[in-house]
Structures are given as structure tokens and as C-alpha cells.
A = this chain, B = another copy of it.
Amino acid sequence: MSIRHSLLALLHEGPRYGYRLKSEFEDRTGASWPLNIGQVYTTLDRLERDDLVRKEGADGEGHVIYRITAKGQTEVSSWFSSPVSRAAPPRNELAIKLALGLTLPGVDVGAIIQAQRGVSIRALQDYTKARRDTAAQHRPADTARLLVLDSLIFQTEAEVRWLDLCEARLMQLANPPR
């Protein structure tokens, strides 16, 4: 539901055409989450189907403009005002992999942890570099991109620390304290 709501939120600011929605989304969230342009058009079709936006012919330059409806505005407001539910957190593929690997014979969990730590630390460096390269202006879009990068950095740091903990717990399992 992220893309759906994101496009709707951007349309809340004013009528836009598809390609511009893609640009604006990426401008605000950075290159971390690229948005396939095809996805934009299919999502717009579905938003229109659900009466959240209306397709309007063409503007001066011949662009196909979409305008948010009253129902769409209600939807955006309720999206922004309701917190992201932590009742059913998204499945964490890494955690699942380690948890299952631990209980299955013939899986070298230690090797998985080490390989993953390498990947995560490299990702962390990339994010940190991207963060340095992001203009520290005080334009909202810059701040937005910084926040997204910070979020990825925090998440990845937590992942690395979790991997360390897993490794420690793994040793406990190998040498169980009597």
C-alpha cells in the first residue's frame, strides 16, 4: 500500500501527470527506492478505479493529468494521521532464514551470518557515503532524503548488531553451559 498512498499524497498537493509523480517521489525519498514508471501508471489506473483520483484530459503541454477526489483527500488524511501498525510487522527474510537454518540439519548458520554481515556493512558504507553527498540545504526535500538515508542507516546498524548477537548465541548453543 506504500506506493498507492505515496502517489495519492503527492496528488494531494495538486494535479500531476504520471511521469512527474515518479520524479517527485524519487526526489523526496532518494534513489534508495526506485519507482518503476510502469508501476505508476498501473497504480493510477487502480486509484481511478477506486474513485480516489480522476483522469483529466490534457494540460497545456499535452500531459495526462490526474486530480485527487474528495474521497482521495479523506484517504490521504487518514493515512497520515494513523500510525503504521506494528501489530503484524513485515516478515524479515533474514530473521526467518537464520531461525530456520538454526533448526535444520546441514545449514552452516555461522557462514550465513558472516556473509550477511559483509553485505550489511558494505550497504552501510554506501548509505553513509550517499548521506555525505546529499546537500545539507534546508529545503524540505533535502531533509526528507536525509531522513530516509538515516532510516536505512539505523536499520542496517541494528541488523549488524543483531548478527553479532546471533553469533554469540550460536556459540552458547554449541557449548551449552551446564
Instruction: Name A residues whose Cβ lies closer than 8 Å to a Cβ of B.
Output: 1-3, 5-6, 9-10, 12-13, 28-29, 32-34, 79-81, 83-86, 88-105, 107, 111-112, 115-116, 118-120, 122-123, 138, 140-141, 143-148, 150-152, 154-159, 161-162, 165-166, 169, 172-173, 176
Task: Enumerate chain B residues within 8 angstroms of A151, measured Cβ to Cβ.
Answer: 92, 94-95, 162
A173 near B140: Cβ-Cβ < 8 Å: yes
Label chain A's interface by main secondary structure. helix
List the number of copies, as a whole number: 2
B144 near A99: Cβ-Cβ < 8 Å: yes
Name which of A10, A104, A176 has the most chain B CB atoms within 10 A of its CB.
Answer: A104
